[in-house]
Amino acid sequence: MSRRRSIRFTSEGTRFLLFTFGIGLAAINTGNNLFYLLLAMMLSLIVVSGLLSEHCLRRLEFHRHVPDLIMANEPATLTISVTNRNRHMPSFSLRMRDVVEGQEVDRGLAIHVLPPQSSRLLSYPLLGTKRGWIRFDGIVVQTLFPFGLFLKKGRYAIETHLLVSPPIKPLALRFVDELVNEGQGAALTRRGDGSQLYNLRLYQPGDDSRAIHWVTTARTSQLVVRETEAEDQRRITVVLSIVAPAECEPLFERSVTFVASLLWQLTERAHPVRLIVGTEDSGLGSGSAHLMAMLRVLALCKRQSPESGHLGQQGEHSPLTCEGGRAYTLAIVPWSDQATLTNPVQADRVLHATQLEELTHAF
Amino acid sequence: MPFNQAFALSSVTLAATAFSGLVLAQSVPFWLALPTAIILIISLLHAGGVLFLRRAMAQITDSPTLWNVLLIGAFVILLIDLTVVSRDLLPAGIHFLVVLLGIKLLTLQQRRDYRHLYVISLMAILASAALTTEAWYVPIFMLYLLTAVWTLLLYHLTQETSEISAAATLPGTVACRTTFPSRITYRFFWLTNGIVILTVALTLAIFFLIPRIGVGVLQKTSGEAVRTTGFSDRVDLGTIGSVKQNPQIVMRVELPDQSAGGKDRFYLRGLAYDQYNGRSWSHSGTRQRSLNLAADGTFLVRPPGSHPIDRPSETIRQDILLETLDTSVLFAAPFAELVSGEFHTVQADAMSGIHLPFPPSSRIRYSVTSQVPQLRANERTASTLAYPDSIRFHYLQVPMGLEQVADLAHRVTQRAATPFEQTQMIQQHLLENYRYSLESEVATLNHPLEEFLFTRKTGYCEHYATAMVVMLRTVGIPARLVTGFLATEWNEYGSYFTVRQRDAHAWVEVYFPHSGWITMDPTPTISAAVATSRWELLSRLAESVRLQWDRLFVHYSAKDQLAVVHGVREGSDAVRERMGRWVSSLGAPISQAFMRLTHMAQAFHSGMFGLITGTIVVGLSLVLLMLRDRIALWAVTHLLPKSLPQRAIVQLYTRMLRIVERHGVRKPPAATASEFARLVELEWKAAGPMVADVTAVYNQGRFSRAPLTQDDLSRVTEQLGQLQSLARSAP
């Protein structure tokens, strides 16, 4: 943790210094020792100011607590804990400023008094406006203590990164329903309501007694219940094409937001979902952890210019097949080169730029 | 107490302190001091939270027109003051400052007003510093410093509090803050006072250390000089009586070499007079000579080329702080030999009086070394004394018409066998037959001496001294009258004499050819009231503080700074000497042997000592050269920071390369560290395992993610040590 100091006069400090200078001149000119005494008093106030402000900024420890992932345009709470490692003296009038990607940002964080060997937890809201990483370089702590003559700053380098996912927007329910009902959604071999046998396991308190598999129970002399395989879940693969020229950047971003929102909706409905973005493949899965993993992929995906020659990268991952059978595939193509390839992605349904414009115009 | 209230209270106290400084410097007239003091009291009560005053003040301060009118009025008063009343910028400026202070106290509302008040207070304390050098400035300054620290601190904290309140009311401001306790807590009180103590300590340190580069060209005079009598060219008989009841201090005299015992009377000689015309004394010669400047700014009173006279005498050194007097005379114990002080010129007259060219414009401090002559034994018993003609010419003069006095002198001394006995008898006669009284109105009489001796028989020092001088002269003994001060007030706290106007005195100097001028005092000792009451003791204590203040602060100069530096150096020399003695007592046998060797060497050859020293130096250098590898190894492992093991291992590896290279195995530039280790194993088999070990640690440090530990470094150091031993033992 590196510490650097800078000092700046306040307007009061500048005046004070001018008066000190004036008294110094008077003392030198007249040789009057009482003027020297007053000069010494003013100089000592400056020195004491420097010593105490340094004392306030020394032996402080900062820790930043950030969430793993936050949504763009959704306020999130960040926390900074400040500890005063001084043994005897408190620190006064501390003001903290965030250093975000080299820029100092005032979040209105202030501690008037921090007793020795104690900590304070300061929280503040953060609104990520665009997806991707936010880099926090450190914290600048400043104080005017004790006399407000100088503003002394100390910089504590604590580098932290925060990932911002694309925002989640409401989608038309009809579109999502259509999507789910369309195509070849296949039953996933997982527990659920159904008639096919999925598994046999030992009876647990609370299990339905009608599910007891009596044959096995009789054979093993242990209560064994029968689990069935769920039949109504459809597997959906969402492929996002990241190839788009610079002028399509707004639509690309809206497409990313659309994909994030769609994944959110599908996860809410407990569908097994797979996301393919460029070379990134989330794999098939469901639940909030899987959603977070997919949102992380979306947070970091970058548009690629058509000139870079990486068209159709998603084909490397065989998106159309997976264990358990073929999934329903939805391709999101914000831009397609009409001259060379009409449908760059092999999918059950492809949403092109015009449809995406229509679906995301309200984002 | 809430912060805001404490802040207002400390601000007004700051202003009150600065105002007190001006009042004590007697620079504020009563008509101005009284209303300002009333305003200050009201402001203090208002700040203290007196309710009805708060309402009243709120009503008053709501009228800006009134305050504009008051400000214009203040400017008008300044102009009138400057042109008609004071006719001087400094007093008029101070009056204006006080008026502004009063107006500002009544309009204290915004923070800007408080800042203005602080500026006015600073100007006021500055003005009082310019106007005084008295010791009352100490408490005023300390109080000012105390309130300044409190005020500045509270100003800052209240500003922060108000900023936070303002921020909290702004829409959309979401700030997480911890708040300061809004009242003065016990901890805060002591913390602030701790800051005050720190500031005071730093102030004193800076004050004493700050270089005095000022030449004092525009230094002010310290006001009106103290009027003295008895030190002009002509002194009318009876003039000293006018000051004999004046307690004003004229000087303080320290005797650095003397102990406290025997200091009941101390004569401080001013001027001597040789001509008496029946009513007044005067000098016969007015020639002054400038004294020679010896080393260190010391003036030598003895004429150039003369040698000190071999007389029995007592040496007395005095440090004298002389108040601003209207005379240029420098007082000292008889007779001054050396004078030092911040003077450019010092003059002396023919009767050993010392002067400055002009009366000093401010307090001066000087040191004098005097030789007080003692009467030789042979002159006590000599029946006749042979006086030089010049002495007889000047010091046997008596005015005409003093036959009655001469008769008295002869009558008194008729049984005396020696001049010394004559002197004693006259002195005794005066001591026993006349009464000391300050009520003698003999100054206006035509024949004051005869009135004193034959009619009233009461008088004071001048009458006694004049009578003795004239009587001695009429019997043929040269004598002269001396005026000065007789110090009797010893300050036991400061170890110095306080000399007041009332200590002005006149006495006699009697000439003895081989002993010189001997001081004799025919005035009876007045039983001085012994200061035993608590107030008098306190007054002496205060007086001592005043002297210290004057010495340490008012007259602190670059010379004193040098003296402090010398003192510190001498102190360190003394400590070193003491340490040396201690060490020598410990190693006495060794040092004795060494001394004997040195003496032998010196006796043998004058250059032997140098030779031995040279040999030791060369030997030490050789030892260092031989051990350089060990020292370097130690330095790498011990002096490099523990957080930089990578740098350490690189340096150790480089050292290993050097050792191996000295044995003839050089690392090819293209070879990696591991390749080189294998090469060493082939060419110098014994060193192979050590080199391999060091190389492994080096590779780990340079290229592996596993960090090096201190144990690794210690192991490498050990291996290098073995490698060195191997290299030395190898053919």
CATH of the domain at A272: 3.40.50
- Verify that B633 and B594 share a domain, yes or no: no
B617 in any annotated domain: yes
- Verify that B617 and B680 share a domain, yes or no: no
pLDDT at B256 over 80: yes
Count: domains in chain A: 3
A191 in any annotated domain: no
- What CATH code is carried by the domain that includes residue A91? 2.60.40.10
- Verify that A27 and A151 share a domain, yes or no: yes
Q: Hey, which residues 171-230 in chain B have their CB within 8 Å of chain A?
A: 173-181, 195, 198-200, 202-207, 210, 212-220
> Does residue B30 have a cis peptide bond before it, meaning omega lies within 30 degrees of 0?
no
Count: domains in chain B: 3
Indicate the pLDDT class of residue A292, thresholds 50, 70 and 90.
Answer: very high
Alpha-carbon distances of B250 from B10, B59, B498, B503, B626, rounded to whole Å: 39, 54, 8, 9, 74
pLDDT tens-digit map of A103-139:
888 888 888 889 888 999 999 999 988 899 999 999 9
A192 in any annotated domain: no
Cβ contact, residue pair B155, A125, below 8 Å: no
From the CB of residue B466, how many other CB atoms can be counted at a distance below 10 Å? 29
Alpha-carbon distances of B268 from A20, B252, B263, rounded to whole Å: 44, 11, 13
B648 in any annotated domain: yes
B139 touches chain A (CB under 8 A): no
Please tell me which residue of chain A has the smallest CA distance to B558: A31
Indicate the pLDDT class of residue B636, thresholds 50, 70 and 90.
Answer: low
Mean pLDDT of chain A: 84
Residues of chain A above pLDDT 70, percent: 86
- Verify that B612 and B665 share a domain, yes or no: no
Q: Hey, which residues 67-96 in chain A have their CB within 8 Å of chain B?
A: 92-93
A47 touches chain B (CB under 8 A): yes
- Verify that A104 and A180 share a domain, yes or no: no
d(CA A187, CA A192): 11
d(CA B614, CA A72): 80
d(CA A342, CA A329): 17
- Of A175-184, A296-305, B609-618, B717-726, the range with the highest mean pLDDT is A296-305
Closest approach of B150 to chain A, Cα-based (Å): 9
Structural domain ending residue among the three candidates B599, B626, B653:
B626
- Verify that A210 and A286 share a domain, yes or no: no
- Verify that B636 and B622 share a domain, yes or no: no
As a whole number of Å, the end-to-end CA separation of chain A is 42
- Verify that A131 and A279 share a domain, yes or no: no
- Verify that B651 and B700 share a domain, yes or no: yes
Of A131-140, A156-165, B165-174, B513-522, minimum mean pLDDT range: B165-174
- Verify that B618 and B673 share a domain, yes or no: no
In this structure, what token pair is assigned to residue A90?
A: 């408190």
Q: What is the DSSP letter of B552?
A: I
B369 in any annotated domain: no
B153 touches chain A (CB under 8 A): yes
B396 in any annotated domain: no
- Verify that A52 and A145 share a domain, yes or no: yes
How many CB contacts within 8 angstroms connect chain A with chain B?
A: 149
Domain that holds residue B127: 3-169+184-209
Q: Which residue has the higher pLDDT, B621 or A226?
A: A226
pLDDT at B440: 59
pLDDT at A161 over 90: yes
From the CB of residue A134, how many other CB atoms can be counted at a distance below 10 Å? 18
Q: What is the DSSP letter of A179?
A: H
- Verify that A270 and A222 share a domain, yes or no: no
Count the helices and strands in chain B (H runs, E runs): 23, 22
**Strand A197-202 and strand B292-293: pairing?**
unpaired
- Verify that A284 and A153 share a domain, yes or no: no
pLDDT at B218: 47
pLDDT tens-digit map of A258-289:
999 999 998 988 888 999 998 889 888 888 89
pLDDT tens-digit map of A309-323:
655 444 444 444 444
B530 in any annotated domain: no
The beta-strand segments (E) located in B207-248 are 234-236
A107 in any annotated domain: yes
Select from B314, B235, B306, B315 the least CA-distant residue to B270: B235
- Verify that B97 and B29 share a domain, yes or no: yes
In this prediction the pTM is: 0.61
B618 in any annotated domain: yes
For the residues B586-591, what does the mean pLDDT come to? 63
Q: Hey, which residues 128-187 in chain A have their CB within 8 Å of chain B?
A: 144-149
- Verify that A281 and A207 share a domain, yes or no: no
Please tell me which residue of chain B has the smallest CA distance to A16: B119
- Verify that A153 and A264 share a domain, yes or no: no
pLDDT tens-digit map of A193-246:
666 778 889 998 888 888 899 999 999 998 999 888 665 557 889 999 998 888
- Verify that B122 and B15 share a domain, yes or no: yes
Domain that holds residue A122: 1-164
- Verify that B600 and B676 share a domain, yes or no: no
Cβ contact, residue pair A38, B125, below 8 Å: yes
For the residues A328-355, what does the mean pLDDT come to? 75
A220 in any annotated domain: yes
A125: which chain B residues are within 8 Å (Cβ-Cβ)? 174
